[in-house]
Amino acid sequence: MPSARGTRVSQYTIEGARTVSSEDEELRLRKLHQYNLLDTPKEDAFDRITRLVSALLDVPIATITLVDRDRQWFKSEQGLGVEETPRSQSFCAHTMIGEGPMVVQDASLDARFVDNPLVTGHPAIRFYAGVPLHAADGTSLGALCAIDSSPRHIEPQQLKLLADLANLTMEQFELRLLATLDGLTGAMRRSSFLATAERDMVLAAKKGSPLSCLMIDADNFKSLNDQFGHAVGDEALVAIAKAISDQLRRGDSLGRMGGEEFCVSLPGTELSGALSVAERMREVIAAIRLQTDTGVVSITASFGAAALLSSDSSPSDLIHRADVALYEAKNSGRNRVAA
């Protein structure tokens, strides 16, 4: 199970802190986004945890914090009253790169935080205790933290409780992730993908940014299954999903829509960019070779692309246009990209 990774306290310093390379940070962000938690509605399962932190440690503020590229976003918060703050102001970003809990007894005396707007202004942080939220593979997603506006000390037993609740938080994250993923390919299930695509649309409209969609279908999949068996068919789907995933950026999403059909949401991407991405994916898939009892077999896929229009009222509108383009690609000879 995920671990809060120890209960040693770091007072005024980050015990075990390390320099994080840009490559490691990109991998961390990719992992964070796989959980599909950012910008999701509040949930009672997580609010119960922050209420427990607030009650057990007798603090007015408790948060489940996810550290994104330029912000810290709160999956749950008690007593703070905001959804996010800049990462540059984040105590939890310091906690995240440590090996264990971080405790600051008085932030006004800590050189790292004395000029922090969260210390000099609202909520006037003095005491902070945080435990990293580590995925099963050790990737740091953020922290579970307790905050007070008065300097104070934390007892070892209280810190252990905070670590236990951090473990519980990660267990909830992992269960949620498993529930959203297709068991064979690791892509999102259809319902989870559509919910993600809906959020992508809302954010695109809010920011005035582009959004594109790809529909992908494995060519001649029924014939592959009939000739070589379902085990080879499954192997083909896994290989296709991996080929697609390897071309995705942080924030892109892949869903299995059913059978041999996949869909990709590409936030911040114009149609021309989506076509370039699709072509790269098509080339990688066409290079796949599967070993069967009768020899090596190749696979291909067809792609349809579409971009968000102001008239689109739901993800179904965008996906439908990409599906129409996919139909054109299939009718034009397969193993190609159309828009």
Domain boundary assignment for the chain = 10-179, 190-338
Q: Are 293 and 235 in contact (CB under 8 A)?
A: no
- Report the predicted TM-score, pTM, of the whole model to 2 decimal places: 0.69
Tokens 């976003």, residue? 73
What letter would DSSP give residue 197? H
To the question of domain 190-338 being in CATH 3.30.70.270, the answer is yes
Average pLDDT, the chain: 91
pLDDT at 5 over 60: no
For the stretch 135-187, pLDDT in tens is: 988 899 999 999 999 999 999 999 999 999 999 999 999 998 888 899 999 99
The β-bridge partners of 266 are 212
For the stretch 93-122, pLDDT in tens is: 999 988 799 999 999 999 999 999 999 999
Pick from 41, 39, 33, 316: nearest CA to 194 = 316
C-alpha 250/C-alpha 266 separation (Å) is 10
Copy the structure tokens of residue 21: 């390379």
One of 15, 26, 99, 260 is an active-site residue; which one?
260
**Is 260 a known active-site residue?**
yes
CATH topology of domain 10-179: Beta-Lactamase (3.30.450)
* One-letter amino acid of 159: L
pLDDT of residue 31: 84
For the stretch 281-316, pLDDT in tens is: 999 999 999 999 888 999 999 999 999 999 999 999
